[in-house]
Amino acid sequence: MADKVGLIHIYTGDGKGKTTAALGQAVRAAGRGFNCIIIQFMKGKTEGGETTTLSAVPNIAIERLGRNFIGPNAADIETVKESLLPAMSAARAAVGGEYDLVVLDEAVTAASLGVIDMDDLLRIIESRDASVELILTGRGADQRLIDAADLVTEMKQIKHPFDQGRRARAGIEF
Amino acid sequence: MADKVGLIHIYTGDGKGKTTAALGQAVRAAGRGFNCIIIQFMKGKTEGGETTTLSAVPNIAIERLGRNFIGPNAADIETVKESLLPAMSAARAAVGGEYDLVVLDEAVTAASLGVIDMDDLLRIIESRDASVELILTGRGADQRLIDAADLVTEMKQIKHPFDQGRRARAGIEF
């Protein structure tokens, strides 16, 4: 797919569907022969349901790197920052051309919270091989990220069961 | 998962990410042992990239039923309506309890365009087994669908490459 020009997608907003849209995009692309990698920032150590499924799918690699500071295994902010350095290194390497589609899941959240450096993230976007389809997800997309993107969808929460006091459920939220 | 109470999700709006969010949700749920089925309404005869990938995933069935009336293989409205009857029958059967998660992809679009009957769709939602997590996608969600749902996300288009004259690409849009 050498003549392919990859675009930059951002899925942001407060509604459910950002990470799942990126996962679904990788699933669709893999079916067309794209070599895909999903790097999950800030999802914590517990593996998601998606890890189990996608580990068995050829053409999709999935890596979970970095600590979280919300939830039961929260770490302090400096620990989170340090834990995300390998995620940034992995992202930098992934956009070099080895993969056709690269997902940086929750990288937008991490940048908006300041646990990764926004300028570093923008440099990764700029430095990518032109063939790479690059997908970033997470809340609070900065205007500089929106400007750098070709496709931006805001997942807007209209109604959410957490508002009714329901908790996150395995298989649905993680 | 007999004691599980399933919720109803709707992914609507004009932005990219509705179908992919539903696909990603199924991928996540399958990794937690959910038995999933994806019924794609109105996607036309051409198989999507997702079909190839998900056909090889245990716990996920994917079926594409019904004609489309946009795109190169467009059919007239009566032909589309008739072609969607098997999709509605499949949906009715799928929510009976055999599956833990059921995706009715583009069913919202089909209802908003009047090529499936809104009352029939609402009856399918009401008649579902209480354990079923039910996900509907598509543009133009009617207020009655929103009222019936537990979780609604509007995928709002902020920026889209089609605005810049780019065409739909295999692996990305289908």
Among the partner-chain residues B49, B158, B166, the one whose CB lies closest to the CB of A146 is: B158
Three-class secondary structure of residue B79 per DSSP: helix
Dihedral (CA of B134, B140, B144, B149) sign:
positive
Instruction: Flag whether residue B140 sits within 8 Å of chain A, measured between CB atoms.
Output: no
Best to test chain A binding among B53, B133, B156 (most A CBs inside 10 Å): B53
CA-nearest residue to A29 within chain B is B171
Alpha carbon B141 to chain centroid, angstroms: 12
State the burial class of residue A109 (Cβ atoms within 10 Å of its Cβ: 0-12, 13-18, 19+). Answer: buried
Cβ <8 Å between A157 and B157: no
Cβ <8 Å between B22 and A25: no
Cβ <8 Å between A159 and B150: yes
Task: Answer yes or no: is pLDDT of B58 > 90.
Answer: yes
Looking at residue A63, its pLDDT comes to 94
Domain ranges of chain B: 8-158
CA-nearest residue to A23 within chain B is B24
Instruction: Flag whether residue A9 sits within 8 Å of chain B, measured between CB atoms.
Output: yes
CA-nearest residue to A157 within chain B is B153
Provide CB contacts within 8 A for A169, sequence distance 6+.
Answer: none
Neighbours of B27 (CB within 10 A): 30
Task: Answer yes or no: is pLDDT of B72 > 80.
Answer: no
Q: Which CATH number is B8-158 given? A: 3.40.50.300
- Please report which confidence band the pLDDT of residue B2 belongs to, taking 50, 70 and 90 as the band edges: very low
Task: Answer yes or no: is pLDDT of B96 > 90.
Answer: yes
Arithmetic mean of pLDDT, A119-139:
98
Task: Answer yes or no: is pLDDT of B32 > 80.
Answer: yes
Share of chain A above pLDDT 70, in %: 95
Task: Answer yes or no: is pLDDT of A150 > 70.
Answer: yes
Residue type, B136: L
Best to test chain A binding among B54, B151, B167 (most A CBs inside 10 Å): B151
State the burial class of residue A2 (Cβ atoms within 10 Å of its Cβ: 0-12, 13-18, 19+). Answer: exposed
Instruction: Flag whether residue B35 sits within 8 Å of chain A, measured between CB atoms.
Output: no
User: Cα angle at B5 between B21 and B63, to 5 degrees?
Assistant: 45
State the burial class of residue B112 (Cβ atoms within 10 Å of its Cβ: 0-12, 13-18, 19+). Answer: middle
State the burial class of residue B142 (Cβ atoms within 10 Å of its Cβ: 0-12, 13-18, 19+). Answer: middle
Greatest C-alpha distance within chain A:
50
Among the partner-chain residues A31, A51, A146, the one whose CB lies closest to the CB of B52 is: A31
Report how many Cβ contacts below 8 Å link chain A to chain B.
197
**Long-range Cβ pairs for the range B89-95 (8 Å, 24+):** B90/B39, B90/B63, B90/B65, B91/B39, B91/B124, B92/B124, B92/B127, B94/B37, B94/B39, B95/B124, B95/B125, B95/B127, B95/B128, B95/B129, B95/B132, B95/B134
Looking at residue B163, its pLDDT comes to 78
Task: Answer yes or no: is pLDDT of A74 > 80.
Answer: no
Beta partners for B153?
A: A157, B11
A33, two tokens:
């022969």
User: ipTM of this predicted complex?
Assistant: 0.93
Residues of A (103-132) whose Cβ lies below 8 Å from B: none
Instruction: Flag whether residue A70 sits within 8 Å of chain B, measured between CB atoms.
Output: no
- Please report which confidence band the pLDDT of residue A88 belongs to, taking 50, 70 and 90 as the band edges: very high
Single pTM value for the model: 0.94
Strand order in the sheet with B60-65: A60-65, A36-41, A101-105, A133-137, A8-12, A151-159, B151-159, B8-12, B133-137, B101-105, B36-41, B60-65
Beta partners for B41?
A: B65
Half-sphere exposure of residue A120: CA atoms within 13 angstroms, side-chain side: 18
Q: Which CATH number is A21-157 given? A: 3.40.50.300
Provide CB contacts within 8 A for B86, sequence distance 6+.
Answer: B65, B66
CA distance A159 to B153: 7
Which residue's structure tokens are 């979780």?
A: B151
Instruction: Flag whether residue B85 sits within 8 Å of chain A, measured between CB atoms.
Output: no
Instruction: Flag whether residue B20 sits within 8 Å of chain A, measured between CB atoms.
Output: yes
Cβ <8 Å between A53 and B27: yes
Instruction: Flag whether residue B33 sits within 8 Å of chain A, measured between CB atoms.
Output: yes
Residues of A (147-166) whose Cβ lies below 8 Å from B: 149-161, 164, 166
